[in-house]
Structure 1
Amino acid sequence: MNDLLEGFRLVGQMDVLIAILASSIYGLVVGSLPGLSATMATALLVPVTFYLSPIAAVATIISASAMAIFSGDIPGCLLRIPGTPASAAYTDEAYAMTRKGQAELALGTGLWFSAVGGIIGTLSLVVMAPLLAEVALNFSSYEYFWLAVLGLMCATLVARSSPVKAIASMLLGLLVSCIGMENPAGAPRFTWGQPDLLGGIEPLPALVGVFALSEVMRALATFDPPPLPRRKFGSIMAGQWALTKIYQWPMWRGNVIGIIIGVLPGAGADMAAWVSYAMSKRFSKTPEKFGTGHPEGLVEAGASNNASLASGWVPALLFGIPGDTITAIAIGVLYMKGLNPGPTLFTERASSMYALYIIFILANIIMIPLGIIMIRLAAHVLRAPRASIMPIILMLCAVGAFATGNNMFSVLMVGFFGVVGYVMERNGYPVAALVLGIVMGSMVEQSFVTSLIKSDNSLLPFIDRPISGVLAAITAGALLWPVGAWLLRRRTRTRPPLQRPA
């Protein structure tokens, strides 16, 4: 009890409260700009943490990342341009709701369920940290391979078009992810003698190109675009409690998926969002409504996003193993401030741990009022003339791309993928599946090659390890399920009707 009270006292310091508020506003702004991810938002804060107390320094990382993950939904909903890679999974769904005049409902859903997911993820961090960390330590490259393959299968589950086209888009993304230095030999692959390609294709320029720039190209090619509904935003939070009661099972499922994926090193909110949205469509009673502006997928994916963000701190705090890129930055800040990760942190610095828990909960609570203000400011985009919005989007795309690699090559990549995205969408190929292939491709290859090196080219460890075997069975079942369903439908159609006796 004394440690808990001391934790409240540490958070109640004026410098900590100011750090939470300022970094929350900063995270909301950066996350809502196309191309500027939550990882970039936290990385840019590191120099600022040099001058802060230990608790205030960690508070800036926690608050900015939580806000940036949510605010990436805002441009995705209003302009079909995801602010962060985690928002790309359900950008089309949110934008479809905007086209139906339900922008405030879509944004309110993202805000409410992101806050709820963050709080539940924090409670899991408090209650289940040692247990979840032990599970995470049992994951090796074999398990990560199957996990990445399951993530790739989300391409077919979230696609509104033909599954064949979705798989083709995903395979194109995997091909793009092969560009760069070959793993593990280090030989150049598909670089055509260009030094800029040796580092591979970053997911962010591809994401900005296929979503944002292709949207600008569509606006230029459409002489008389259908107008977005121009109406006054009502209450942002209206109807959220009703959605919570209607979709409580998807919400809890999203929280659980986010917690489990977040605790696995290297997974993060991006994979949690894709998997949760795909699971929501797979188990929905009305899967045909997905892609037409249906809030169910937003509920589950929004809850999963921030739940994974909190649980990603479990391996970081217990073992110094980053759960994602954000916690990798946070670990550096923890070491710099003398809060060395490890089991002793929970015993010798228990008050500091309680302070971190309180900051997580506080950041997700203030996300609601600050998020409402941000949404209301962003809503003016719907009322602005389209001709004035598109040049600004183009400028933000260029600035965001340049910031990712600090060179003009990233800007050229945005232009290239903008053309690719425009051509793909004109022909019915889902660009979200392309982005998924690019994001997951490196994880699939690294896990597979590392596993073969460890097993001396034997495939047996992929299925004879307990967790790996279960994941392999789930993957096989998910692959065979559509084939079995197709065969069953075909058999039902070809079966002759029963003849009644005369």
Structure 2
Amino acid sequence: MDLLAIFTIVLDPRILGTILLCTLYGAFVGAMPGLTATMAVALLVPFTWFMDPVQAAAAIVATTTTAIFAGDISGALLKIPGTPASAAYVEDSFRLSQTGKPRTTLFTSLFASVCGGVIGVAILAYATPQLAQLSRSFSSDEAFWLATLGLSCAVFVGGPSVPRNFASLFIGLAVATIGIDVAVGHPRYTFGVMELYDGINFIPAMIGIFALSELLRNAALGRQTRLGKLVVEPLFSAIRAAWREFRTRWKNVIRSASGGTVIGALPGAGADVAAWIAYAVSRRFSKTPEAYGRGHVEGVVDGGAANNAAVAGAWTPALVFGIPGDSVTAIAIGVLMMKGLTPGPDIFANDTVLVYTIFGSFFMANVLMLLTGGLVVALATQVLRVPRAVLMPLILLLSMIGGYAITGSVIAIWIILALGLLASGMIWAGMPLAPAILGIVLGRIVEDNFMVSMMKSRGDLTEFFARDTAAVLGTLTLLVWAALLLRAGWSFFGNRTSSK
């Protein structure tokens, strides 16, 4: 498709209005401490039921893009990152704000985020069609290894504790086994409940794991969002100062945005990992590394550019291979499947309009973020005064209504409650949620392709390495497993040695 055709679709009043509304929604949710970008998308999912695939994809893209940036707002004003992607540079942004430059700091982050997002979209639009050509030759062997590699990478980047990461993954895989066994047609773990024969519905699962767990966690912490006395500079002088600062850091933006896109494309990595790595690289090559963590704008620029670029990068494995790059794309894949679409190489031939509309929506969302993000920065002190006693019950009500509306069954509410409590227990135990989410999404894909390959090879496991591409992917996956075992062993024996 040419650029004119793409923007004709994106500028359709219905699509453009959806993008505008969702950027405002994402900015509001991202600015609230504890309400993550993933939670924003999870709450949006029930509304996508009433949208066509193009509009639904545009809504998810716009919400994520703005929510990732808006997480900087509460970080700068309250030292509470609105999203995990803002945690890498929260100390710098907060200290800069305390010097009387909160708006300058946030507008600098906004400019870096928009530029990083645009660079990420450009790389995404160029790389994904090329990779799709390669992936069309994939069989069930390659699909199995790709899905397994995605699960392995999720464990690798999930957190410092490999056992906890594995435990989270196995919880997700256990949830994915509920339903009819694909090989023998026998129900598993359904306990005679007919509604569970098709497995756990993806949407109630996402709402429970992300939305309800966050509500319960915030309720347990009793976290308050109170702004102290803060000196706020005039709006237009802050914009001018931020623009001057941004122009002197353009090399940092290009470097971090490019690296963030690549990191975001790694299954399970996500924007928060991209931000931490970009921040570390920025500090390594900075002329003033000692200033990081004490209020250095360079770290804010690098982190902001990287995390927004990673949002686009995470769609690369999702579109090309049908493997989520992060939790948000896991939800997006579920939404597309709900619409009868299967992400993967064939989507570029069968649903070209959808793919290129996603690219156009990313670009438009980043452009509109200059307006909506700037508006939220200007009104940030008011946004953060929304009473949590009002906000949290409203989110809980929407979660329950959304889950029930999708399935038309009370079992959806029980799924939300059960998985929400389970996810809360995982958070309390220090387990990351991302591996569990990828386990739910990829569990059936791994099982289906494994069974197909085993039937074709009549139980010969060496056939998984018979094809060149499968052998490369299999070797890469086994290397990741080896790295995980070495990391776990090093952690175990290192702790025992230090304890002595």
| Fold match (TM-score > 0.5) | yes
Conserved? CA contact 2:183–2:451, under 8 Å: yes
For 2:61, the aligned partner's letter is: A
Distance 2:274 2:221 in 1: 35
Deviation, structure 1 residue 67: 0.9
For 2:442, the aligned partner's letter is: M
Distance 2:67 2:221 in 1: 26
> Does residue 141 of the first structure (1) align with residue 147 of the second (2)?
no
Cross-structure match for 2:470: 468
Change (3 A) 1:398 1:137: same
Distance 1:217 1:124 in 2: 36
Deviation, structure 1 residue 204: 3.5
Structure 1: where are the runs of 5+ without partners? 50-57, 81-89, 262-270, 317-322, 333-339, 347-351, 495-502
Deviation, structure 1 residue 208: 2.7
TM-score, normalising length: structure 1: 0.66
For 1:134, the aligned partner's letter is: Q
Matches within 5 A, 1:431-470: 431-470=433-472
Cross-structure match for 1:391: 393
Cross-structure match for 1:414: 416
Deviation, structure 1 residue 111: 8.8
Cross-structure match for 1:83: none
Cross-structure match for 2:200: 201
For 2:309, the aligned partner's letter is: A
Deviation, structure 1 residue 465: 1.7
Deviation, structure 1 residue 145: 1.7
Secondary structure of 2:461's partner?
Answer: coil
Deviation, structure 1 residue 191: 0.3
Conserved? CA contact 1:402–1:410, under 8 Å: yes
Conserved? CA contact 1:233–1:376, under 8 Å: no
> Does residue 253 of the first structure (1) align with residue 252 of the second (2)?
no
Distance 1:364 1:187 in 2: 48
Higher mean displacement: 407-416 or 68-77? 68-77
Distance 2:156 2:107 in 1: 23
2:50 to 44, 47, 60: 44
Conserved? CA contact 2:225–2:385, under 8 Å: no
Deviation, structure 1 residue 171: 0.9
Higher mean displacement: 461-470 or 174-183? 461-470
Q: Deviations over 1:449-483 (max 9, x none)?
A: 22222333222232232222112222222222244
For 1:447, the aligned partner's letter is: N
Question: How many pairs does the alignment contain?
Answer: 433
Conserved? CA contact 2:111–2:246, under 8 Å: no
Conserved? CA contact 2:465–2:474, under 8 Å: yes
TM-score, normalising length: structure 2: 0.66
Cross-structure match for 2:210: 211
Change (3 A) 1:65 1:115: farther
Secondary structure of 1:383's partner?
Answer: coil
Secondary structure of 2:145's partner?
Answer: helix
Distance 2:166 2:107 in 1: 30
For 1:446, the aligned partner's letter is: D
Change (3 A) 1:106 1:151: farther
Distance 1:433 1:162 in 2: 12
For 1:453, the aligned partner's letter is: M
Conserved? CA contact 1:233–1:379, under 8 Å: no
Deviation, structure 1 residue 188: 0.9
Conserved? CA contact 1:118–1:307, under 8 Å: no
Q: Deviations over 1:340-382 (max 9, x none)?
A: 9859x99xxxxx9999977764454334323444676787453
Distance 1:108 1:376 in 2: 13
Structure 2: where are the runs of 5+ without partners? 30-38, 76-81, 285-291, 293-298, 323-331, 342-346
For 1:206, the aligned partner's letter is: A
> Does residue 424 of the first structure (1) align with residue 416 of the second (2)?
no
Deviation, structure 1 residue 220: 3.9
Distance 1:99 1:384 in 2: 24
> Does residue 304 of the first structure (1) align with residue 310 of the second (2)?
yes
Conserved? CA contact 1:115–1:306, under 8 Å: no
Distance 1:420 1:192 in 2: 19
Conserved? CA contact 1:70–1:114, under 8 Å: no
Change (3 A) 1:207 1:64: closer
Conserved? CA contact 2:135–2:321, under 8 Å: yes
Cross-structure match for 1:54: none
Deviation, structure 1 residue 432: 3.3
Cross-structure match for 1:175: 174
Deviation, structure 1 residue 193: 0.3
Deviation, structure 1 residue 383: 1.6
